[in-house]
A and B are shown apart, each in its own frame.
Chain A
Amino acid sequence: MSSSNIRDLQRELENKANDLSKLQKDIAKNHQVRKKYTIQLGENELVLKELDLLKEDANVYKLIGPVLVKQDLAEANANVRKRIEYISAELKRLDSTVQDLEEKQNSKKETILKLQQKMQTLQAGKGKA
């Protein structure tokens, strides 16, 4: 009776451990994406600062593939602003998903700990009996 119990527990523990490693992988992936976006945000902010310093009649070009295309300063400014907005929103979204995942990870860790304790007490009881 108790040995089948232990087996069940073991199976459950394994499942939970798999879930946990999956969660950890997701978190790591999220961190990587976050890092990429942070770098892009920094670059875009530098560009915006540079565009703000320019005079109104300055010639601005955008590199599209191998071609430099002339662009309005106002248009370039709006583009970069929009991009910064988008990246910031994306970063916020990533933050909330990471937080969510970390909460899930912590609760998983707790359930695993509880399962391990349960198994230990069961095994100890079996040893005595």
Chain B
Amino acid sequence: MASSKSASGAMTLERMSVEQLKAVKEQADMEVNLLQDSLTNIGTATTRLELATTALNDLSLRSHGSKILVPLTASLYVPATLQDPHHVLVDIGTGYFVEKTMPEGKDYCERKINLLKSNFDQLVEVASKKKNVADDAGVILQAKLKQLASSS
């Protein structure tokens, strides 16, 4: 099914003029780049959430009153004691923060990671399809240009 579809797509590409092909290729290339960028963004977001999950796991192992160092800036830390290891404040976006219990916080990270992963998989599929279109257009464009060069 997929192969027949791409074959018919190639057929319509065959019938295009060189200018049209160029336009199609350019468009497809642009979209592929855009999708690649989105993929890297999702990747970084996922790693950040995974980091948050490990931090939460780490935090949940500590008990009330344990000593910690709190970062005030990137290089300045002050000593403190942990008051409440069972509640966390979660940034849910657009300036809103929600107080959650430890398991809820972990659950939040888990859910976000799963959401990102499913988005990632979907995007990978779309990106590979677009890449095929771009490659097809490139191949046919090359062939047409060669034909033109030999015929003139």
B79 within 8 A of A: no
Interface of B is mostly: strand
B119 to chain A, nearest CB (A): 11
Q: What is the CA–CA distance of A44 and B92 in the complex, to the nearest angstrom? A: 9
Q: Which chain A positions have C-beta within 8 A of B108?
A: 50
Binds A, one of B69-77, B96-104, B131-139, B144-152: B96-104
Which size class do B's interface residues fall under? 10 to 19
B109 to chain A, nearest CB (A): 12
0 or 1 for each of A33-54: is its CB under 8 Å from B? (1 = yes): 0000000100110110011001
Q: What is the CA–CA distance of A50 and B96 in the complex, to the nearest angstrom? A: 10
Q: Which chain B positions have C-beta within 8 A of A46?
A: 92-93
In chain B, what residue has the closest Cβ to A45? B93
Contacting residues of chain A (54-95) with chain B, CB-CB under 8 angstroms = 54, 58-64, 68, 76, 80, 83
Chain A residues at the B interface, C-beta cutoff of 8 Å: 40, 43-44, 46-47, 50-51, 54, 58-64, 68, 76, 80, 83
